[in-house]
Amino acid sequence: MKTKKKDSSWQTIKLIAYSFTIAFIIKLFIFSPFIVEGASMQPTLHNHDYLFVNKASFHITSINRGEVVIIKKQNDPKYYVKRIIGMPNDQVNITNGVLHINGKSIDENYLNASLRTEYKEYLQFNQVKVPNNSYLVMGDNRLNSMDSRNGLGFIKKSEIIGKVEGVFYPFNRVRVVH
């Protein structure tokens, strides 16, 4: 009778240890939660939104324009959440609040519609060429965002931690992020 109880306890301990190990590996290499700090991605993401981030996606698929990503710059303790705007070798500029990539205006339906008038008046960004193996990122709240235009510079693929898949908290904002 005692050996059955001992075996059962040992099985429970092994199950718990395996579960924690698997959860740790998943968090470390595949999925991770992140918290938004600040208003640079509004209206898409808000301060204190809890994000579900896929860390494995860019090892399987390529990085695409328009995706929202988590960035960790070398020698900077902070993580940043931004949108991929410019791909390697793109020519990017903003004139009168309108984004142009390789000479074509881009419809950015994820931007705040009420701020677009302000963007037309105040938002300018001289044309730059995105270096090979780098990306240009911006926050959706263009007048209140530190991004490739004003502090982060171009982002290397190795500095992209993962793709934001969705918001899981607060519950009234739970959704998939595009």
Active site (catalytic) residues = 40, 82
Q: How far apart are CA 1 and CA 158, in angstroms?
A: 56
Closest CA to 111 of 81, 68, 142: 142
Tell me the C-alpha distance between 95 and 166, whole Å: 31
